[in-house]
Structure 1
């Protein structure tokens, strides 16, 4: 990366492993600003959207403040963005949990649905099938990443590089890249050296954007 530590914002909307995400970004070389305020985050070089739990609950929390419009406009401007776990899922068109469909932010086209795997949640370490030309996963071949979820996306978003993962015979999206707008179903902040390398790759993407 070029000189200095890029300023990266982490959106605090009441969901996600905020402190572990902030620590991992700091270790990867970022200056981190954790805030719920778009005004405070607007001057950041990149934006991270974390998330844990249920799709609908995360969307409700985002909709309770300016989060949805802020993330949507950030991505529409092709500014560096990284969604993590449910923060990845809410970037898609919709989420279907137990027959209840909730609208997502709509950055990527696709539906989040329950995995067909017999063993749920998908929890633990798994290898990712890297998309050809992926900058997010550059230098990462058979390394494993940490997953914990029961829902995912099974179709590749149009106009994006898509990396895949398989669990118990079910194949679904592991990571998405459209320019500097990226997201991962897995938790890079919990994925050891592989996750640290991925965060470093994203910071390099952010600096070049």
Structure 2
């Protein structure tokens, strides 16, 4: 069972529909005991970093996500959810994140429209079980901030939008995708399926 963590700032419908099409069991929840009993966790997210951390803190979810992830439970952060995995963000001031991965979230500053919105090529940078039998392709992004990981080996895929940006991070049981796999066609669905199948 996959726990989709509901803290009021995630695109829960499209994600849950994608898991349903892939025939994976899931529950949308903000209940600590349900999250503890789940086999895997997905942390979606849309909106501002500081607002998201405030909601997680107020709902008592920050501690349980951190503890379950540190204990080895697979965790997938999507879009803002990926950014929340890191040390902190400079979005509208400085805010601390879950600090499961080392790095900071910075504003995108390029000579192209921001937010970065649309289909971009996903380039695999390091071999990883998540990529098993998959080929590079286009995925769908919507973001104005990007992750600067402290450990470059955590960045396993990037995309080029005037400069290289972090697209997928991975360290042991913790995965993050800056794009929306549930909206990214066959490649996105395959990546979501690989996570749900435990290929991390």
TM-score (norm 1): 0.89
Q: Distance in 1 between matches of 2:25 and 2:102?
A: 31
Question: 1:161 Cα shift?
Answer: 4.8
Aligned partner (choices 39, 47, 58) of residue 53 of structure 1: 47
Q: Distance in 2 between matches of 1:10 and 1:39?
A: 13
Aligned partner (choices 193, 197, 203) of residue 196 of structure 2: 203
Q: Distance in 2 between matches of 1:75 and 1:159?
A: 19
Q: Distance in 2 between matches of 1:199 and 1:191?
A: 10
Counterpart contact for 1:154–1:171, Cα < 8 Å: no
Which segment drifts farther, 84-93 or 131-140?
Answer: 131-140
User: Hey, what does 1:69 align to over in structure 2?
Assistant: 63
1:128 aligns with 2:122: yes
TM-score (norm 2): 0.93
Unaligned runs of 5+ in 1: 1-6
Q: Distance in 1 between matches of 2:151 and 2:130?
A: 16
User: Hey, what does 1:4 align to over in structure 2?
Assistant: none
1:178 aligns with 2:171: yes
Q: Distance in 2 between matches of 1:191 and 1:158?
A: 25
- Matching of residues 153-164 of structure 1 within 5 Å: 153-155=147-149, 157=151, 160-164=154-158
Partner-residue secondary structure (3-state), 2:118: strand
Partner-residue secondary structure (3-state), 1:164: strand
Count matched residues: 199
